[in-house]
Structure 1
Amino acid sequence: MTATLPAPQPTIIVGVDAHKDTHHAVVLDSTGIRLADRKFSTTELGYRELLSWSTRFGLVDRIGVESTGTYAAGLTRSLRTAGIDVMEVNTPHPHTRSRKGKDDAIDAEAAARKVLAGEAVAIPKDTTGTVESIRLLTVAKSSAVKARTACLVQLQDVLVTAPSDLRERITAATGRGKATQCAALRPDRSNLDDPYQAAKFTLRCLARRVIELEHEIGEIDCALEELVTRTAPTLLSRQGIGVSHAAQFLVTAGQNASRLGSEAAFARLCGVAPVPVSSGKTSRMRLHRGGDRQANRALHLIVVLRLRYDARTITYMERRRAEGLSKKDVMRCLKRFVAREIFNDLKTDLTAT
């Protein structure tokens, strides 16, 4: 009697167009034939239903997902936990949209076809570790700093138009000092129809808000310092790299920094990859203007600080200037070097973590 082997499962590719409340999925077979599409809710139950529904058509090879860092962050975590290979997909090109139109099913199919064609090879960031906690704290700090700055500007503006005797009572030279003095004002709440009392009340409200925000920023800084010091000790040991800069590089690279493949990829992500801009007799390079601009800003500040205090960096600047390079060109070289150093330190720290 001859045993009959079960037929192998067909391989399928899934594409997902992500939104705030729903995700639309499309299934393709290995030859690119569209098999089915369906919409799911953005809940844990919806994520499980999407995976269960996909497996009805065959063995899931890869899933291409749009917005893995925003709308599809929860779905990405759920799929990776289930052992599914998730590929990050960019939004469709405008030419594709102009030819085929746009709706959720079309976008999901375009995501699946990019994965099938090998165009989508980027691995999403891992948002289940300490680096995600650092990112969230960084978001909170950035918001608090912007709010504090806005309050200080408003406080200064109100002082400019306040009654003269009230304005002359606030003698501090700095914004923080003015906020401290204004916080001690005692307006007459029963007489707020008087602009003098209304000005005192407004100044006290703004000043207390500034002080509360500074306390909040201090708490976030303490939490960030603890997390960053534990996560990236090698990176923090480098000259010119503080907690805020290290936190930014961790967020830019992600918990799974190895997904970038090389330090050149990290440099491009930070906007410091050299790009040729030669023409005729002119031969020169500039830096790629894309990437994470906050990481690029951090690199620039590190180079500026090292040019003041690091003997090795100062010597390099003098040598390259003697070779005929401008200061701006030498700083571009230094930013590229610092990006290489940071990437290697990140790999060391995150591997240990």
Structure 2
Amino acid sequence: VEMIRALRIARGSATKAKTQAINAIKALVVMAPEEVREQLRELPSVKLVGTCARFRASRIVDPISAVKASLKSLAVRHRALDAEIRELEDQLDDLTSATDPLLRSRFGVGPDTAAALLLAAGDNPARLRSEAAFSMLCGSSPVPASSGQTKRHRLNRGGDRQANSALHRIVMVRLRWHETTQAYMRKRLAEGKSKREVVRCLKRYVAREIYGVLMVRSERR
């Protein structure tokens, strides 16, 4: 699990740096001389980076050459970070598959979501007394918010937010591609539930499913 944590930290750092690089490129385009701005401002991000990376790094003799040199530097950095992120994601893919192949086999569980859930559970998932405890850990357990005759629950803002985000992404994937999940959504909407309420229910169900998978790994150790 600590190996997964290290890779996720490196990936997160590279992702932030990549975002900073593209934001800096776009900011430079806005303040660039008209000649450069006209060439770049309508380009989507991928083409923008590619175009900037092809600029010639000639001597800096005027504002245009200075901006082009800066844009080229940022674009080259962006591409290098993109390659680094892909390599780290491949390593995470291999490591999470080796650590818990059953977890990775669940519908909608990719390398990053598996990593977040494995880190939330830790090296000893058996310490979690029940699936309710795991759900609380992930911030997917319902919080009562009833008033009078109205019985309802609200969003739980506690718990491990990265694990909660992982559950949310799994639910979103299943809502798009998983027929049983889609049918559940239609059923609960017909009963008068809001989409947000149904998503919270689904996250709770996914947490229960993931807990069972993690316990299988714990028993095999």
- If the TM-score is normalised by the length of the shorter chain, which range does it land in? over 0.9
> What's the offset of the Cα at 1:253?
1.0
- The equivalent position to 2:195 in structure 1, one of 311, 314, 327, is 327
> What's the offset of the Cα at 1:350?
4.3
- What is residue 16 of structure 2 aligned with on the other side? 146
- The equivalent position to 2:107 in structure 1, one of 217, 239, 250, is 239
- What is residue 72 of structure 2 aligned with on the other side? 204
1:88-167 alignment, distance < 5 Å: 131-167=1-37
- What is residue 228 of structure 1 aligned with on the other side? 96
Partner Cα distance (1:147, 1:245) in 2: 21
- The equivalent position to 1:275 in structure 2, one of 127, 143, 147, is 143
- The equivalent position to 1:292 in structure 2, one of 153, 160, 183, is 160
TM-score normalized by the length of structure 2: 0.93
Aligned length: 221
Aligned residue identity for 1:185:
F
1:144 counterpart SS class: helix
1:345 paired to 2:202:
no
Give deviations 1:136-178, integer Å, cap 9, x for gaps.
1001101100110110011011112212222344487321221
Larger radius of gyration: 1
> What's the offset of the Cα at 1:305?
1.8
Q: 1:171/1:325 Cα in 2 relative to 1: closer, same or farther (>3 Å)? A: closer
Greater RCO between the two (CA within 8 Å, min separation 6)?
2
Q: 1:183/1:331 Cα in 2 relative to 1: closer, same or farther (>3 Å)? A: same
TM-score normalized by the length of structure 1: 0.60
2:176 counterpart SS class: helix
Q: 1:177/1:351 Cα in 2 relative to 1: closer, same or farther (>3 Å)? A: farther
Is the contact between residue 30 and residue 41 of structure 2 (CA under 8 Å) also seen in structure 1?
no
What is the root-mean-square deviation of aligned Cα atoms in Å?
A: 1.7
Aligned residue identity for 2:184:
Y
Partner Cα distance (1:215, 1:319) in 2: 43
5+ long unaligned stretches in structure 2: none
Partner Cα distance (2:140, 2:176) in 1: 21
1:185-200 alignment, distance < 5 Å: 185-189=55-59, 192-200=60-68
Aligned residue identity for 1:188:
S
Partner Cα distance (1:332, 1:166) in 2: 48
Partner Cα distance (2:120, 2:133) in 1: 12
* Percent identity for Structure 1 against Structure 2: 47
- What is residue 310 of structure 1 aligned with on the other side? 178
1:229 counterpart SS class: helix
Partner Cα distance (2:194, 2:210) in 1: 25
Partner Cα distance (1:325, 1:243) in 2: 32
Is the contact between residue 232 and residue 350 of structure 1 (CA under 8 Å) also seen in structure 2?
no
Partner Cα distance (2:73, 2:23) in 1: 13
Aligned residue identity for 1:240:
G
1:288 counterpart SS class: coil
Q: Is the strand fraction higher in 1 or 2?
A: 1
> What's the offset of the Cα at 1:267?
0.2
Q: 1:236/1:196 Cα in 2 relative to 1: closer, same or farther (>3 Å)? A: same
Partner Cα distance (1:291, 1:171) in 2: 42
5+ long unaligned stretches in structure 1: 1-130
> What's the offset of the Cα at 1:285?
1.6
Aligned residue identity for 1:226:
D
Partner Cα distance (2:174, 2:114) in 1: 16
Partner Cα distance (2:37, 2:193) in 1: 52
1:289 counterpart SS class: coil
1:49-64 alignment, distance < 5 Å: none
Aligned residue identity for 2:188:
R
Partner Cα distance (2:84, 2:30) in 1: 28
Partner Cα distance (1:321, 1:174) in 2: 37
2:154 counterpart SS class: strand
Partner Cα distance (2:71, 2:157) in 1: 42
Partner Cα distance (1:183, 1:326) in 2: 47
